[in-house]
Every structure is written in C-alpha cells, then in structure tokens.
Chains A and B, each alone.
Chain A
Amino acid sequence: MEQKDKHLKVTAIKNGTVLDHIPAESLFKVINILNLSKRPNQITIGSNLDSRSMGKKGIIKISEYFFEDEEIGEIALVAPNATINIIRNYEVVEKRIISIPESFVGIFRCMNPMCVTNHQDIPTKFTTIRERNEVLLLCHYCEKTTDTRNLKIVSKK
C-alpha cells in the first residue's frame, strides 16, 4: 500500500539511484552532503512524505547516476537507516546498505570554536570512533570530538 502511494507522489525513474527512508529533517543535509545541487542529472526530491515506519520521510531519485560506496557512506551519520535502491529499466536490481566510513574529510564542521579549521580555510578531517553505542568524530587537528547531535555541514563551494 505504501509502495503505491509513493508512486503517486514521486515519479519513477528508468535508470539511476533511489535514496529512500531519509529522516525528513535530514533531507536537505543529504542533498548538501551529496552535492546534488551541482549535479547535471535529472533529480526528483520528495520532502515530508508519509511513511508508515517513520511518520515523515524524504526520498531522492537521481537518474543515470550510481554512487560510489565512499560517496554514499558520507550520509551515514545523518541518515543511517536510509535505503539505497539501484534501478535499471524501472526495476530495483540492487539494494545497498550504508556503512559508516572510518573517516570524513571536508564534510562536517568541528564543534570546537577554537579549532583551527573554524578560522582558516582548511578542510576538516575526522576519524570515526565508537564509544558506548555512540558514534563520535575525532578531529584530526584539535583532537576534540564532535557528536552526531552537533553535526553541521561545511557549505560546499
């Protein structure tokens, strides 16, 4: 039933990638992280769609584009349970699972206001660490951690 509703709201694509089950509040972060505004492909975005499992969700359909694993991994912290469907000839031919990368370069801001990356034009670098079920980003420069609740995205040029 849910599947049918979705088709009414967001048109199907022939070949490409569908990112589904994106938390509604993270949709624009995902768009930012994947730098979609700079992509020439045809892109359909659905925001605040009804979802039986999530309440509200976001969905992104990108025609004729297939992400590299590292590229898609970058959204792991803002949309950990998103599903990645690879579409060929209107059929889902592969479902991919997002795994959290070991490091993040140039995507998130360091939450330490005294960190050099917040004052100079330096791409941030973090190592992913796990501490009691929590994922933290350890800054390569100031050696402080940023938690996922304080994630801010570096605006891409």
Chain B
Amino acid sequence: MPKNLISIHDFSKKEILHIVEIAADFEKNKSQNILNDKVVACIFFEPSTRTRLSFETAANRLGARVIGFADAANTSIAKGESLKDTIKMVSNYVDIIVIRHPLEGAARYASEVTPVPVINAGDGANQHPTQTLLDIYSINKTQGRLDNLTINMVGDLKYGRTVHSLLQAMSFFSPNFVFTSPDELRMPLEYKRFLEGKGIPYTETRQLSEHLDSSDIIYMTRVQQERFNDPIEYENVKNVYRLEAGMLSNVRDNLKILHPLPRVNEIAADVDDTPYAYYFKQAENGMYVRMAIIAYLLGYR
C-alpha cells in the first residue's frame, strides 16, 4: 500500500513538520530535478485552475512530466465511464495521481483502486489537505513557530472545509482560537467538542473588531450568498465581515492575514498594501508545499 494524502488525518504531527521542513528547502531552491523520470497525473473532474496550476508547476519544478485533464466535460467520464475505470486506466501510465472531484470520498476511493500514491486536491465539501498544509507552512514561516499562537478564524466557519481541517491540524500545536462569524455560520459543535476534549481554548464572537488586536493569524474566509435563506441577511453579513486597512492600526507587529483565495469583498484592496497581508505569498507557498508532498509520497524526501 503506497502512502497517500487524502485527508489531513492521514498525516501525523511528525509528517506535517517534515513537509514544512522540506517545503522550506524547495522554497530556497525552487527547481530540483529529482523526478525527471516520473509522470504525474493531474485529473480534475471539476475545474479549479488555481489548484491545478499550483500542482502542475510543482511537478514541473521537480522535473516530472504531467498528464491529465482540467475538466471532465470532454472525456470518457462524460460518456458514463466509472471513476474506477478512469483511475485504473490512468494508473497504467503514471507514478502518482493528483485528483480533484466534486463527490465526497472520491479521492479515498481512487486510492483504493490504484497501486500508485494519490493526492486529494479537493473532494467536494470534504477535504483539501494540501490547502491545510500550505496554511500551516505559511503560519510557521511568518511566525517562526507553530506553538502557542492565537488564530482568529473569520467568516463562514460552518461550511468552510479549510477552517475545519486547519483547526484539526493546528490542534497538535497548543493554539488559542477565536471564531468570528455571524450566528448562521458559527463553528459546528463537533469541532468545539473536539477542542474541549483536547483542552484547547476558544472564544466566539460576532464582532470582527473585537479580537483583531490580540491575534497572531487572521484566517479570512469567503461568506457565500447561497448559505443564506434571506438575501437581506446576506447583505448585512457581507458588509460586517469585511476587513479594511483602517481596522488594523493597533494590531500585533507579527500579525499576518491569510485567505485561501479567491476573495470576493471580505478583504478590502487597501489591506493588500499593509505589512499584514500575506494571502498572495500564501498562494505561492502552496507550490513549495505541493513539491514537498509529491516528493515525500514518491519516497524521494
């Protein structure tokens, strides 16, 4: 059984730290031809240009070649081919598979029908573990550590899979959480119970301004209109959870603002020019982290 990365739970604390370490090495030395005899499949059953380009660039910078598709619309899948048959076919050609699929659990299933390692690049609303690892890499890089940080998660904490995975992975590092969200989008009970079980403190607030000055990381997420029954409610919330440069006058010097991107209007453009904005660099970090994950799963690092 090859090692896979399907869910953030598949990696131990030690493996998370290992990925952070080798990603730092790839950031220093961006092109390392260690996989020049390898082929990577990037099979995207739903389009996600941002994630796909990041993976494909990562594979290219390792010297590997990339095959795959960006959208299932023009493939045999559209003609009704089963996921199993597609994975079996691709497995014959490649050394590792990167898969994105709209159905939850699709990546786990793919890993069970192929002999090559599988990386989950997002399975519906379920998991997106490489996003979590790049978030952790970005936190470590900007703070110089992972332990004992105050992480303020803002926006859609109910449906946002990135905040749930990040919460679980950061729980290894004695964090202090602030959950800033409208009532409709509060952090689900199961995650709060998970933290309570581990003795990790958290506070909840509706006011974005309340904990900005005591945070080390502000993790912003998109509040999507389709989450609301009442369009007026959405309009209210959308404007309340908008971060502007003027709100950052008393924040900690080490504060960094993260966002999984793309943003809509939850971060004003004037924040981009502050020293706290980190979301563009965070996206770049994704490439080094994906290089690290590919190299690790293929046994090269």
Give residues in A with beta carbon < 8 Å to B: 112, 114-117, 119-122, 139-144
Taking each of B7, B103, B105, B106, which has the highest tally of chain A beta carbons within 10 Å of its own beta carbon? Answer: B105
Against A, the Cβ 8 Å flags (1 = close, 0 = not) of B113-143 are 0000000000111110000000000000000
Which residues of chain B are near A139, meaning CB under 8 Å? 105
Closest Cβ neighbor of A141 among chain B residues: B105
Q: A114-B104, A116-B106, A141-B104 are in contact. List 17 more A-B contacts (CB 8 A).
A: A116-B83, A116-B101, A116-B104, A119-B103, A120-B84, A121-B82, A122-B84, A122-B109, A142-B104, A142-B105, A142-B123, A143-B7, A143-B104, A143-B105, A143-B126, A144-B104, A144-B126
Determine whether the beta carbon of A112 is less than 8 Å from that of B109.
no
- Does B211 make an interface contact (CB < 8 A)? no
Contact A120 B104 (CB under 8 A): no
For A114, what are the chain B residues with a Cβ–Cβ distance below 8 Å? 102-104, 124-125
B residues less than 8 Å from A121 (CB atoms): 82, 84
**Interfacial chain B residues near A112, Cβ < 8 Å:** 104
- Which residues of B lie under 8 Å from residue A119 when comparing CB positions? 103
B79 to chain A, nearest CB (A): 15
A144, B105: Cα distance in complex, Å:
10
| Distance from A146 Cβ to chain B, minimum over Cβ atoms (Å) | 13
Residues of chain B contacted by A142 (CB below 8 angstroms) = 104-105, 123-124, 126
Q: Is B158 an interface residue (CB 8 A)?
A: no
A10 to chain B, nearest CB (A): 43
Cβ-neighbour of A115 out of B7, B82, B84, B103 (below 8 A)? B103
**Contact assessment for A120 and B109 in the assembled complex, using a CB-CB cutoff below 8 Å:** yes
B108 within 8 A of A: yes
Range of interface residues on chain B?
A: 10 to 19
- Which residues on B sit within 8 Å (CB–CB) of A117? 105
Distance of A116 Cα from B123 Cα, bound (Å): 9
B163 → A minimal CB distance (Å)? 15
- Chain A residues with Cβ below 8 Å from B124 are 114, 142
CB distance from B122 to the nearest CB of A (A): 13
Residues on A with C-beta less than 8 A from B127 are 143
A152 to B123: give the CA distance in the assembly, Å.
24
Q: Which residues of B contact A122 (CB under 8 A)?
A: 84, 109
A and B contact pairs by CB, cutoff 8 A, 18 listed:
A114-B124, A116-B103, A116-B123, A117-B105, A119-B103, A120-B82, A121-B82, A139-B105, A141-B108, A142-B104, A142-B123, A142-B124, A143-B7, A143-B104, A143-B105, A143-B127, A144-B104, A144-B126
How long is the Cα–Cα vector from A22 to B127 in the complex, in angstroms?
39
List the 4 closest pairs (A to B, CB-CB), nearest first.
A141-B105, A142-B104, A142-B105, A116-B105
B109 near A141 with CB under 8 A, answer yes
Q: Is the CB of B83 within 8 A of A120?
A: yes
| Interchain nearest-CB distance for B20 vs A (Å) | 24
Question: In the bound complex, how far is the Cα of B111 from the Cα of A122, in angstroms?
Answer: 13
A143 to B124, CA, bound (A): 12
Contact mask for chain B residues 86-116; partner A; CB cutoff 8 A; 1 contact, 0 none: 0000000000000001111110110000000
Closest residue on chain B to residue A143 by CB atoms: B126
Which residues of chain A have C-beta atoms less than 8 A from B83's C-beta? 116, 120
Q: How far is the CA of A139 from the CA of B231 in the complex (A)?
A: 34
Q: Name which residue of chain A comes closest to B84, CB basis.
A: A120
Chain B residues, Cβ within 8 Å of A141: 104-106, 108-109
In the complex, which residues of chain B have a beta carbon less than 8 angstroms from the beta carbon of A115? 103-105
- The interface residues of chain A lying within 8 Å CB-to-CB of B84 are 120-122
List residues of chain B with CB within 8 A of the CB of A143: 7, 104-105, 126-127
In the complex where A120-B82, A120-B83, A121-B82 touch, is A140 in contact with B103 (Cβ < 8 A)?
no
Bound form: Cα–Cα A144–B123 in Å: 13
Q: Give bound CA distance, A122 to B127, whole Å.
A: 19
Contacts of B82 in A (CB 8 A): 120-121
Provide the residues of chain A in CB contact with B105, threshold 8 Å: 115-117, 139-143
Interfacial chain A residues near B103, Cβ < 8 Å? 114-116, 119-120
Nearest Cβ on chain A to B76's Cβ, whole angstroms: 15
